[in-house]
Amino acid sequence: MAASSQADTAILSVALLNQQIEAARSELALLRGQLVQLRSDIADAPGEALRAANELLARARSDAKLVEVVATEAHGRRVSFLATVAHELRNPLMPLRLAAVMLDRARTDEAAHARLQATITGQVAQMTRLIGDLLEGSRISTGNFRLERTVIDLNAVLDRAIETSQPGMDARKHRFERSPRSGPVMVLGDAVRLVQVFGNLLENASKYTLEGGAISLRVGMRGHAVVVTITDNGIGISEKALPHVFDMFVRDQHATEVNEGGLGIGLAVVRELIKAHEGSVGATSAGKSQGSEFVVMLPVAAVSRTA
Ligand code: ADP
């Protein structure tokens, strides 16, 4: 059965399941209508109509079974999604609690104090991004989000995104390289949302790159667009998952082995936010262990084109 074989794949999303439930429900409604019609036909031509009614009944039964299987699967995925959310939100609490205890002892030790401060900043940034993704994800799925766009320098956005991702990269001893800084690159953007976009991409690069790996961020121009390329030499993305990674709740099977936590909503949020900025985002990877590259294109603000 198509639904159960899909359910076996790691990239089946709750959204997809919901679509299948809806499709099966409307099929059932159609069959119900046909059954009502057949009932009245039975009175006129009992033999033929009875056979047709039996066939329809059998189809309706198997469709009802399908709805049940898919609904159970969707429910299971919702429950496990909530469990992952709770787990991901609880994760930073332990280091924060420890840091709070140790801060008192580190009053006289400047280096220890700075380390603790970096831990707190890093964990808070991670939580902020996660909560931001959850909020943004729900706003996007209800069509209820609005950008606050002003003319801003993309370099400042990238500075902020790097700053929030740096603790994660440092913890995994990643070599991070940024292309030499050009002059200001003005875009008409929502600074908070763009920090979230590039923070998500950098955090993913770090999450899915083994200790000691390399991550780079390059900024270039293509016509009237600025192109930001984030590359890592990490675990890569399988051919099967690559076309789906920007869909809600999608996670590559081998990514879940490297990093259990993860909600599969970060890239969906990235895609929607970039689309709302009239830009584009794409991913490439030669496959498992071959690293990944994410390319974001954003139109340069008209004001800086004429300047
Ligand atoms: P999450 O990281 O929480 O699972 P995302 O939506 O950010 O959710 O990413 C979706 C999936 O895309 C990840 O689970 C992973 O399989 C894949 N992915 C994203 N970025 C990378 C990367 N830099 N390297 C390898 N896989 C990636």
Give 20-51 pLDDT, tens digit per residue: 777 777 877 888 888 778 777 776 766 777 78
Least confident among 22-36, 198-212, 224-238: 22-36
**Res 145: pLDDT:** 78
Give start and end residues of each alpha helix (H) in 45-151: 46-90, 93-105, 110-141
Top pLDDT among 304 and 226 is at 226
Top pLDDT among 104 and 38 is at 104
Residue-wise pLDDT for 64-102, tens only, equals 888 888 888 878 877 777 877 888 888 889 889 999 989
Q: Which residue's CA lies nearest to atom 3 of ligand 1? A: 262
Percent composition of the chain: helix, strand, coil (DSSP 3-state, to 5): 60, 15, 25
Mean local confidence (pLDDT), 173-182: 93
Query: Which amino acid makes up residue 299?
Result: P
Q: Which residue's CA lies nearest to atom 20 of ligand 1? A: 204
Pocket mutation for ligand 1, best pick of 204, 216, 254, 271 (most atoms within 8 Å of C-beta):
204
pLDDT over 90 at 184, yes or no: yes
Residue-wise pLDDT for 113-140, tens only, equals 999 998 898 889 888 888 988 888 888 8
The atom of ligand 1 lying closest to the CA of 236 is 25
Strands 150-153 and 292-299: unpaired
> What would you report as the CA-atom Rg of the chain, rounded to the nearest whole angstrom?
25
CA–CA separation, 162 vs 96, rounded Å? 21
Architecture of domain 149-305: 2-Layer Sandwich (3.30)
- From first CA to last CA, the distance across the chain in angstroms is 61
Ligand 1 center to 255 CA (angstroms): 7
Mean local confidence (pLDDT), 288-295: 97
Mean local confidence (pLDDT), 109-116: 90
The atom of ligand 1 lying closest to the CA of 255 is 16
CA–CA separation, 130 vs 88, rounded Å? 8
The atom of ligand 1 lying closest to the CA of 230 is 23
CA–CA separation, 76 vs 14, rounded Å? 10
Q: Which residue's CA lies nearest to atom 2 of ligand 1? A: 262
Closest CA to 32 of 70, 66, 64: 64
Ligand 1 center to 243 CA (angstroms): 12
Pocket mutation for ligand 1, best pick of 237, 257, 296 (most atoms within 8 Å of C-beta):
237
Top pLDDT among 200 and 63 is at 200
Query: Which amino acid makes up residue 178?
Result: R
Closest CA to 269 of 242, 245, 286: 245
pLDDT over 60 at 10, yes or no: no
Ligand 1 center to 144 CA (angstroms): 25
Could you tell me the CA-to-CA distances from 29 to 23, 25, 144, 216, 296 in Å, in that order? Answer: 10, 6, 31, 53, 44
Mean local confidence (pLDDT), 275-298: 97
Q: Which residue's CA lies nearest to atom 16 of ligand 1? A: 252
Mean local confidence (pLDDT), 199-222: 96
**Res 157: pLDDT:** 97
Q: Which residue's CA lies nearest to atom 12 of ligand 1? A: 245
Contact 213, 188 (CB under 8 A): no
Query: How confident is the prediction for the chain on average, in pLDDT?
Result: 86
On the 0-12 / 13-18 / 19+ scale of CB atoms within 10 A, 213 is buried
Axis crossing angle, helix 46-90 with helix 110-141, rounded to the nearest 10:
160
Ligand 1 center to 150 CA (angstroms): 29
Residues with CB under 6 A from ligand 1: 200, 204-205, 208, 232, 234-237, 241, 245, 250-252, 255, 262-268, 292
Q: Give the pLDDT band (50/70/90) at residue 307.
A: very low
**Res 175: pLDDT:** 98
Residue-wise pLDDT for 232-262, tens only, equals 999 999 999 999 999 988 889 889 888 777 7
Contact 209, 172 (CB under 8 A): yes
**Res 280: pLDDT:** 98
Which percentage of the chain shows pLDDT scores above 70? 91
Domain residue spans of the chain:
1-89, 149-305
